[in-house]
Structure 1
Amino acid sequence: MSETMNAIVISSFGGPEVLTYQTVPKPAPSPGEALIRVRAFGVNHAETHMRRGEWDEHHPITGLECVGTVASCPGGELPLGAKVVGVMGGLGRTRPGGYGEFASVPVANVVPVETGLAWEDLAALPEVYCTAWTCLFAVLDLKPRDTLLVRGATSTVGQAALHLAVDTGAVVTATTRREERFGWLKGLGAAETVLEQENLDEFLLGKGHPRFDKTLNLVGNRVLLESIRLTRTGGRMLQAGWLGGLAPVEGFNPMVQMESGVHFSLFHSKVLGTPEFPLSAIPLQDIIKKIENGAWDAKPAKVFEYQDIQSAHGMLDTHDAGGKLVVKHQF
């Protein structure tokens, strides 16, 4: 077996053009790891920040997730040839990620799945649905009939959160910066749609809208304080996305600006697969089955060939993808 592999590499920091194709050493899995033969991978906004040198850590072979088959597993935890998804566990950050032909992943971050979905359809699910499920149920403790505000609902995690929340019986208010997407969000089960805007708290509360039991803020720091103000006393506000950019909250003074009694949490998907947030707690197989059965539309917005990674990143940079972007390997 060859000791090298093909990979997409961040050759320097910059635009999509810095992503180059190289032959590199193939990862060698240690006990407790599985080597995945990558068949497809999702493209994530975090990877564009890594490409530009804006993230806290990155590996030149990035890619936070992948789907494929087990090529090697020294500890025997997974059978050879098993169909699996790999997500986080240092992928694309501290170890070569899904942009390579092979990826060595801690077994805690590998989930065997049974599915007839095409590789590219399966690749649209791991990071998005694992993140959304953990946000809603492990952190926000979402219950039937809870009122939930999802800010950034047309994002990939937002769409997954909407599916999951509606399925569990929550009453969802979804925001988007595109008014033409209101009907589409209603079709996914949103009870209410609102135009994403600055000072959303003043807009809604000024109209007499009740505060929400739970708030999922995917827009980020720019709307952090108003998202807290939109959450009722005793409710929970979770920030888990940075669609509005990475700039910190300027002049943050909790005593003056934060509401009393609102629980504020942060979730970063890099902790998926840790003892605190085990992948085994996420019903990924059930989620896949719902998608296979047509209950939810989770198809990627666009599928790119492996040689078109620069085009994929270019589309992601526009923030107009409209859904998950996926890249297929052809090795």
Structure 2
Amino acid sequence: MKALQGVDGHVEWVATTSPACDIGQVRIRVAAAGLNRADLLQRAGLYPPPPGASEFLGLECSGIISEVGAGSSWKVGDRVCALLAGGGMAEEVVVDGRHVLPVPEGLSLQEAAAIPEVYATAWLNVFQLAALKPGEKVLLHAGASGVGSAAIQLCKAFGSPCWVSVGSAERLAYCQGLGASGGVVRGEDLNALNDFAPFNVILDPVGANYAELNLKLLARDGRWVIIGLMGGRKAELDLAQLLGKRVQVMGSTLRTRDDQFKADLLSDLGQQVWPLFSEGRLKPQLAKAFPIKDAEAAFAELASNQVSGKLVLVIDESLV
């Protein structure tokens, strides 16, 4: 088979050995794979896969099950999407069957490739770790990103108003179209977020640059979940504010979680979130699909920070 590998800051479509399908696993003939910022980092050599994971790129994919290991309830021919620790940008992938969900009714395989990573990330961090309650206010930095797009829709579906910080007026309008109550353009005045504060939950992929502001914006008993460091890793904080507001600060990554954790997360997603796709209350925000031969162009577009929603690489055009 062939798979996409990061090599010295670029990508190469290389031949490799097809992995064996073991007990509890399934083999997926990949139709399409979602592109995430983690893939950009791995391509640059800055985010190696966790021990035991595939060295190839891709944290989510969609496709058709072509082989089922003993002990799995999936069937050959099932249309599925999967959450992966790596290897999704390949002609086929082998994955724990518990990390696979059916393609929601009414969605194409191309759309389904844009779901697992971002919805799992948003659900884990906003609803499980931060324990968002209906009516509580949420601030989503990088609101037009794949994770932000998913989180906006989930907040709306579960009855919590949300606001965003974004890179342009166009992206702010995009977020409001998905259900955000409002927000600010980061190049103008981030302090304008004070007009919408205090927030009960902040989902933060930025880190250091926004740390001082986030602490001011949080309500008493607020939860601040850090999922990325796009704005740096070191910040100075007024711990008296942290203490006085009883703020909880959580650092969170998904890729390195163990198999059982991911299985439990996917089970919860299947029960709580997946029905909302079939009902039309959630919709994958597929901005653009690229054929695998144009993978470099897809990576460049994501790196431009101008994408609203998700980019997808089409691996097998006959399936999508």
RMSD between aligned residues: 2.5
| Residue identity matched to 2:19 | P
Instruction: Work out whether 1:218 is the aligned partner of 2:205.
Output: yes
Offset at residue 259 of structure 1 (A):
4.8
Alpha carbons of structure 1 residues 204 and 311: separation in structure 2 relative to 1, 3 Å: closer
Offset at residue 235 of structure 1 (A):
1.5
Give 1:65's aligned residue.
60
Quick check: 1:33–1:73 contact (8 Å CA) kept in 2?
yes
Offset at residue 154 of structure 1 (A):
0.8
| Residue identity matched to 1:228 | L
SS at match of 2:255: helix
Using the alignment, how far apart are the partners of 1:279 and 1:273 within structure 2?
11
Unaligned runs of 5+ in 1: none
Offset at residue 56 of structure 1 (A):
4.2
Give 2:19's aligned residue.
27
Quick check: 1:236–1:263 contact (8 Å CA) kept in 2?
yes
Offset at residue 288 of structure 1 (A):
4.7
Using the alignment, how far apart are the partners of 1:127 and 1:113 within structure 2?
14
Give 1:43's aligned residue.
35
SS at match of 2:34: strand
Using the alignment, how far apart are the partners of 2:69 and 2:197 within structure 1?
55
Instruction: Work out whether 1:240 is the aligned partner of 2:236.
Output: no
Using the alignment, how far apart are the partners of 2:188 and 2:131 within structure 1?
27
**Could you tell me which of 88, 96, 109 is aligned with 1:98?**
88
Instruction: Work out whether 1:167 is the aligned partner of 2:157.
Output: yes
Alpha carbons of structure 1 residues 204 and 39: separation in structure 2 relative to 1, 3 Å: closer
Could you list the per-position Cα deviations for residues 238-270 of structure 1 after superposition, in whole angstroms to 9, with x for gaps in the alignment?
11234x34x3115x4674674541011122121
Give 1:263's aligned residue.
248
**Could you tell me which of 143, 168, 171 is aligned with 1:153?**
143
- Matched positions, count: 311
Offset at residue 135 of structure 1 (A):
1.5
TM-score (norm 2): 0.87
Offset at residue 329 of structure 1 (A):
1.6
| Residue identity matched to 2:65 | V
Give 1:191's aligned residue.
181
Using the alignment, how far apart are the partners of 1:165 and 1:45 within structure 2?
22
Could you list the per-position Cα deviations for residues 142-177 of structure 1 after superposition, in whole angstroms to 9, with x for gaps in the alignment?
111111111111111111101000111112122212
Alpha carbons of structure 1 residues 114 and 296: separation in structure 2 relative to 1, 3 Å: closer
Give 1:329's aligned residue.
315
Could you list the per-position Cα deviations for residues 297-321 of structure 1 after superposition, in whole angstroms to 9, with x for gaps in the alignment?
4241001112111111111111112
SS at match of 2:179: coil
Give 1:75's aligned residue.
70
The 10-residue stretch of structure 1 (181-190 or 285-294) with the greater mean CA deviation from structure 2: 285-294
Quick check: 2:41–2:47 contact (8 Å CA) kept in 1?
yes
Could you list the per-position Cα deviations for residues 261-281 of structure 1 after superposition, in whole angstroms to 9, with x for gaps in the alignment?
101112212156643452344
Give 1:53's aligned residue.
45
Using the alignment, how far apart are the partners of 1:181 and 1:112 within structure 2?
30
| Residue identity matched to 2:88 | G
Using the alignment, how far apart are the partners of 1:195 and 1:259 within structure 2?
30
The 10-residue stretch of structure 1 (29-38 or 283-292) with the greater mean CA deviation from structure 2: 283-292
Quick check: 2:171–2:308 contact (8 Å CA) kept in 1?
no
Alpha carbons of structure 1 residues 62 and 180: separation in structure 2 relative to 1, 3 Å: closer
Offset at residue 295 of structure 1 (A):
3.2
| Residue identity matched to 1:87 | L
Give 2:81's aligned residue.
85
Alpha carbons of structure 1 residues 141 and 231: separation in structure 2 relative to 1, 3 Å: same
Using the alignment, how far apart are the partners of 2:260 and 2:211 within structure 1?
28
Quick check: 1:149–1:212 contact (8 Å CA) kept in 2?
yes
Using the alignment, how far apart are the partners of 2:247 and 2:18 within structure 1?
48
Using the alignment, how far apart are the partners of 1:80 and 1:272 within structure 2?
27
Identity percentage of aligned residues: 28
| Residue identity matched to 2:220 | T
SS at match of 2:75: coil
The 10-residue stretch of structure 1 (231-240 or 38-47) with the greater mean CA deviation from structure 2: 231-240
Quick check: 1:301–1:324 contact (8 Å CA) kept in 2?
yes
| Residue identity matched to 2:62 | V
Using the alignment, how far apart are the partners of 1:60 and 1:66 within structure 2?
15
